[in-house]
């Protein structure tokens, strides 16, 4: 009888500890953390943190309903969704949402498997966000004509140049990539006489990404005489990029 009462008490304690948090893998065997939060808390962690906002709805949903400012937009139903999500920085906090929470819960499980560290999951998705009266961005994403698709042979032929080459490894769905695009364009304009700058679509140039071990986006690599001489993952300032190019 005592044993039965002990088991029931332990079950009650464990249930209480799990409130407000998605149940994933045993915390003793994984350092993955996920917090299931409401819209108010979701907005707060976005504003206070430096992570990545991830919208996993379809493009039709995004353009008809709008999206949270600065979100990376990646369709859960894309056949290569898992491959694309692997390109995101796994050490950064991820602020994850979908329309009502169903798809994003499945993505949480996937992120644990892929080695992400911490996810804030918007409980009930954008339904909760809109019910809280928070705004969405409804403008269409600007088209970027400078993104290139290259085979490995084409890429390596491009590296044979008499100037340093800065490569911006980029995807169209990545919000940090979109933020960096005008900065890269400014660097290109200011240093056009001493460097070559190209923006490569990593989604469509998979051979290149695999050959050069590109693990995330955005990634910036400088080549000289066909060889890699510098690499940086993530957002970087215009000034730092110019310093690196001038030092090559």
User: Which is catalytic among the residues 165, 177, 180, 214?
Assistant: 177
* Spatial contact of 203 and 84, defined as CB atoms under 8 Å apart: yes
Peptide bond into 33 cis (omega under 30): no
Q: Residue 91 has which token pair? A: 């050490």
Residue 128 near residue 39, CB atoms below 8 Å: yes
Whole-number Cα distances in Å, 6 to 1, 2, 12, 84: 9, 6, 10, 46
- Residue carrying structure tokens 């976005």: 46
Closest CA to 110 of 159, 76, 144: 76
First to last CA, the chain: 76
Residue 166's Cβ-side half-sphere holds a number of Cα atoms within 13 Å equal to 28
177 is catalytic: yes
Distance CA(168)–CA(97), nearest Å, equals 27
Active-site pick, 150, 174, 219, 221:
174
Catalytic residue check, 98 = no
| Phi-psi label, residue 107: left if phi above 0, alpha if psi -120 to 50, beta otherwise | alpha
Catalytic residue IDs: 174, 177
């Amino acid at each position: 009888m005592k044993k039965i009462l002990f088991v029931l008490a332990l079950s009650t304690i464990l249930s209480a500890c799990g409130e407000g948090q998605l149940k994933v893998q045993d915390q003793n065997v994984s350092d993955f953390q996920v917090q299931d939060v409401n819209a108010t808390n979701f907005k707060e962690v976005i504003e206070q943190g430096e992570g990545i906002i991830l919208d996993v709805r379809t493009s039709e949903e995004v353009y008809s309903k709008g999206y949270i400012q600065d979100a990376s937009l990646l369709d859960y139903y894309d056949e290569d969704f898992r491959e694309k999500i692997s390109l995101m920085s796994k050490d950064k906090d991820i602020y994850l949402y979908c329309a009502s929470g169903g798809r994003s819960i499945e993505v949480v499980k996937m992120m644990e498997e892929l080695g992400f560290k911490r996810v804030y999951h918007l409980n009930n998705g954008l339904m909760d966000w809109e019910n809280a009266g928070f705004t969405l961005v409804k403008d269409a994403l600007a088209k970027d004509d400078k993104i290139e698709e290259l085979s490995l042979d084409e890429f390596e032929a491009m590296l044979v140049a008499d100037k340093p080459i800065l490569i911006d490894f980029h995807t169209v769905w990545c919000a940090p990539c979109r933020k960096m695009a005008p900065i890269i364009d400014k660097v290109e304009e200011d240093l056009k006489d001493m460097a070559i700058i190209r923006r490569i679509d990593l989604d469509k140039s998979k051979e290149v990404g695999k050959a050069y071990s590109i693990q995330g986006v955005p990634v910036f690599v400088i080549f000289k005489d066909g060889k890699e001489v510098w690499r940086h993952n993530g957002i970087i300032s215009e000034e730092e990029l110019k310093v690196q190019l001038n030092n090559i």
